[in-house]
Structure 1
């Protein structure tokens, strides 16, 4: 009796979910693009306050998961949304986005000459209900800066959309950051090595 041909449909890999980036950050868009991923941007207003008892990585993970929950009701079964939140911690103080230039200057004055920690929390929420929440930490060392250098950076680069009032990829990162312990991309807003690893587990990425 001849063997029947295998059912190619049953042997084919399941379709990868469509990626949705729920972030207005140009840095995160750049990083996912450079990773070779295709994605759609979706934006909505989400409250970024957090319970006061949370500290460090707990804050970043809470905010990432909270953002993802806002997209859950409209997520199709074949979609996967990526949300993230980056915070800067000086000891246990969370330095989020500055409200104005004066606050940006104050934050940078606190950071100069010291080491601080950057945490990025990430939530991957699949339309089928699977959810992964994780975070990554990078320790950043700043040299001592003059007030003139801080003022120049704040005036010229307007870092009001950045946690801790600075971007490592900006001028200040070039002249002030002396050492990093951990992922540079984590400081930019996405720990790409962890994002790729977790997306791969969910069947959302891969190489051929």
Structure 2
């Protein structure tokens, strides 16, 4: 009986030791596995440049991350790409994130990179000096976005009925091109294109 008890104890010690060694080895194996490359959507916006700086400075690599940025013309498209599973994440404004139908998914905000104040504005062709003068004119602004809201708020503030302004439904970058070609009388833009176009 004494021998049986010792044999049972020895067996338990060996089993526990084996399981513990297996667990430690599994933890090391998981830690050593390289992380998959993250696909992240990004648009031209100074508040998102911190991510580009992080990549250039090697901050992602130092933490074992590989990040590839996918450029988009507008944030709604990059948000949709996340919802469809084409991207792992995207830098978007709250407004654009709210415009996207998440379906059965539950999007999560994992980082706030910036709070904008004064980075959006309306630029016009020479000779147009006030919002009131946009009556009967063509203004570029992407419908359903912050740009559209800014235009409507500005028109309302200056008692200009929205129906008296023709809105050209285009992205920020295309609006700049239309301004250069003088195909629109004004455009709602955000930085850095706002400052570059308003010169």
TM-score normalised according to structure 1 size: 0.30
Name the structure where strand makes up a greater proportion of residues.
Answer: 1
Name the structure where helix makes up a greater proportion of residues.
Answer: 2
